[in-house]
Structure 1
């Protein structure tokens, strides 16, 4: 739940930061990381940026590792690879439709069973497929005794391929046999999400079908090369440029074979941050396409988690920002024995974060690090955002010719508070409240940047929203009283919206403000 005094509209509270000063609590955060029980025995590398500018990095090499620069050292990213697979599909939208059935691209699949399994369902983990297929089956693990689980002895033998990454790779006919085996068929597509690695194997097969080339080459040509990820690949690195297991370590360092679309990439922290920043700057996808991709596709029982394609979306409400509210974190975790990683985007603050770990405690280390790092980064970015908004937009805009003025401040609340707005001698905030059926006696309003395509242009489009929640007022069943997405564009005059405000910008700072419905522009600003 957010701050009970405010009902925020969809979108961002204030414009995203352009450039942010380095994190002042860097030493404290590093001290916190070093105090974690896994730190000394785990190789970790972290890089973060805000708006493309570096803000934090930290690396620690376990005592038995010998590489010189961890930021440029290859570490297996495991299931973070799924972001690349979905991106390749999105970049192939003229050949592969999101609502196309997978059977269109994988000839030989059971027609009836896979008819409703779409590309989008596979990417969004709602295909109805299980997790691994043959991989990890207990019957194929050397030394496993069925009796220890009370299982019967089964004479039937599974193919000894794709047993685990690095093992014998299944042939195409064997893959089809598995997907068509009744034991592995999808059930109830488009119902609740279930994490599936083999769903991504099918997406890789779809890409290979339309391009008639290996999946790995497709990723190289469509993503690695355009972005400049020169230190990323699917081949196991050598000890001089990668973190590899030592003699007694039971890590998965071998090739992933058919599971490459699900988890086969080796990458460096520097390359991964470059990749995330390329998504932020729309180097491969347009802004509209990226926004569509950064959306949830499934709900979960938790109020703080959603599922995307392939995003694992967290919405924490315990981050100590000025206005407490859910902050959307678009993440993808990856983990196999010995390696774990996180890729994180926080769109509201232009934060990109990549976390890598190698060691027997890698999974625990990465899970612990996510909140330890994300929270101070967001708090710092929020402080910078509010400071920048005050410098760039706040102040009094007053006409020298007549009685028109508007005063804006950054207070303890969201957006820009409208302290006073006079048009043609009329105080318009109480007047708008009366028109909308609200109490004009204590009316207040705020401006929010609700048109991201106009961000950082010469004319930025914002929206004026009247505050509707009184101090201490109940929000109703399921917060019905906070349906702010339904409050936009409430009234128009002669065709023009009364809630549309345009800032005229020069060099990143507002020099004037236009109230579109009033057909008025005030080009004199006095900063606060």
Structure 2
């Protein structure tokens, strides 16, 4: 028997203690991905959809939304769960557009187009036709002026870190006010305006030459890589790079390589027939439906439907971490203004711990929004729940921003969490024992702790008691965290989990307690991770864990069928389904697969 040296003990103690010096006890992810059928079979989710429908009907009964239409869909990576559509009460009698809004009705997607431009860029990177670390002037040699093009890479452009000005024409005040002096600005001749303006419906779409001429006169907003700030110009230029390396027009490439393979038959960079078009009743000149974006197509030119966008979201949910070895598409690229907001490539990412009532674990929303006159679009992905949301609106702009997003996302996340935690309690908890050893593992669950090891006896040794000799706290648990890897990746069998030792009680809160660094592999024994747990499920349809393999202990424990599993201990308030007595005109509610 080898006696550990003082130096070794101090080393192990130092490694483990780093896990508990901060409020990091709610690790993410907390559970494997919920299956599509579990969402479909959830009575609670069906009830939530009825609540959401009720709230939407009440919302659109307000006369200020009489000119508004919308389409909403919620999907997993395997299929649509629910959709809801509303047809505006008031239409333009001269050009009403689609008479009844469905999942195939077509909207302008505006800046959601940037996601397709970025996906095209990633595919060209994978194909070896470009590198994300190439500078933009390698492909667009006509760029000139004071902007440091030689220091701006394709990656910094896709993540809004280039420092390039936002627009070349779209944010010009002279286009929207008759007299700049009313705003305290000096008088100036409108002859000094750019020769085109795609975003305001000019008869002349802007060209590549117009863009280069405008950029040559502009100054950088920030040094490259200094700070993310929103820029349409980034994606216009990326579209030109895609044209350069593919030898195809931007729209032709996106349609042939992304839209058609995904079956997005209602999506295009050319407007659809009016019978499919969602056309808001707006003052003359405010309807953007007919506007051709020209060179600006890569930043906002796509037309699409909620059904097609669900197809796109399903693809993204399945492939976001497998598109390229160099990039997880959902990871942030830089900070934004608040501690909860980040820029991705080109995602707008929001993290909050204000939704889940029983844990401080943050929920991550990977989003992209877009707007042009008359249209607002929004896509939201929740990768840890395997959910994607599409919200498309026309008419009153506040319908999306102030109302629908909150109505949809908050109850959906709470219920998705409930489904996942209920599944953990039903399939994973229990007592596991070795046949010929005095070894027993008890896995438990609670709303605040999620899945954790309650006790572990290994060959007659109380492992928790032994750990306390290295531990600064008398009370501890082993928090279980899924790695989303499998012992048999091909068959997706043998879920690999890691255990994190955490204290049951926290000391007095300090500012630096919020500083959390992830270390899910603190100690090994003879080359095996001490806190690795491999969960082997039954094939009886119930999907319960029947065996737990403890890699470092060289033992596999079998479920004690006499102990059963826990019921989920999840306490939280539930809204009551209230019949408002209001039915939105043209509202259509569809629960898919119910």
- TM-score, with structure 1 as normaliser: 0.91
Q: For 1:271, which of 285, 308, 317 is the aligned residue?
A: 308
Question: Aligned ranges for residues 406-485 of structure 1 at < 5 Å?
Answer: 406-435=441-470, 437-439=471-473, 441-452=474-485, 457-468=492-503, 470-471=505-506, 473-479=507-513, 483=516, 485=518
Q: For 1:15, which of 26, 32, 45 is the aligned residue?
A: 32
Range with greater deviation from structure 2 (504-513 or 381-390): 504-513
Match of residue 87 from structure 1: 119
- The gaps in structure 1 that reach 5 residues or longer are none
Q: For 2:186, which of 136, 152, 157 is the aligned residue?
A: 152
Match of residue 577 from structure 2: none
Per-residue Cα deviation, 1:1-42 (whole angstroms, up to 9, x for no partner): xxx996246530111211312432222212222222454431
Q: For 1:178, which of 214, 225, 233 is the aligned residue?
A: 214
Per-residue Cα deviation, 1:293-340 (whole angstroms, up to 9, x for no partner): 101111123122111111111112221343233210000011111000
- 2-structure distance, mates of 1:90, 1:515: 39
Residue 236 of structure 2 is aligned to residue 201 of structure 1: yes
Per-residue Cα deviation, 1:72-94 (whole angstroms, up to 9, x for no partner): 10011111111111111111112
Question: Aligned ranges for residues 50-61 of structure 1 at < 5 Å?
Answer: 50-61=76-87
Per-residue Cα deviation, 1:386-437 (whole angstroms, up to 9, x for no partner): 11112221111112222111111221223312122111011212323433x3
Residue 108 of structure 2 is aligned to residue 76 of structure 1: yes
> 1:285, CA displacement in angstroms?
6.6
- The gaps in structure 2 that reach 5 residues or longer are 1-20, 566-594
Q: 1:86 to 1:469 in 2, by over 3 A?
A: farther
> 1:288, CA displacement in angstroms?
6.8
Contact residue 13 and residue 449 of structure 1 kept, 8 A: yes
Describe the SS at the equivalent of 2:276: coil
Match of residue 103 from structure 1: 137
Q: For 1:401, which of 410, 430, 436 is the aligned residue?
A: 436
- 2-structure distance, mates of 1:8, 1:404: 27
Q: 1:321 to 1:222 in 2, by over 3 A?
A: farther
Residue 338 of structure 2 is aligned to residue 302 of structure 1: yes
Range with greater deviation from structure 2 (258-267 or 445-454): 445-454
Contact residue 432 and residue 559 of structure 2 kept, 8 A: yes
Larger RCO, structure (CA 8 Å, separation 6 or more): 2
Range with greater deviation from structure 2 (338-347 or 166-175): 166-175
Contact residue 23 and residue 377 of structure 1 kept, 8 A: no
Q: 1:84 to 1:343 in 2, by over 3 A?
A: same
Range with greater deviation from structure 2 (500-509 or 216-225): 500-509
- 1-structure distance, mates of 2:337, 2:205: 37
Residue 372 of structure 2 is aligned to residue 336 of structure 1: yes
Match of residue 67 from structure 1: 99
RMSD: 2.5
May I ask how many residue pairs the two structures share in their alignment? 516
Contact residue 545 and residue 559 of structure 2 kept, 8 A: no
Q: For 1:362, which of 389, 394, 397 is the aligned residue?
A: 397
Contact residue 23 and residue 56 of structure 1 kept, 8 A: no
Contact residue 119 and residue 203 of structure 1 kept, 8 A: yes
Q: 1:229 to 1:290 in 2, by over 3 A?
A: farther
Describe the SS at the equivalent of 1:229: coil
Q: 1:469 to 1:164 in 2, by over 3 A?
A: same
Q: For 1:47, which of 49, 53, 73 is the aligned residue?
A: 73
Describe the SS at the equivalent of 1:353: strand
- 2-structure distance, mates of 1:252, 1:404: 69
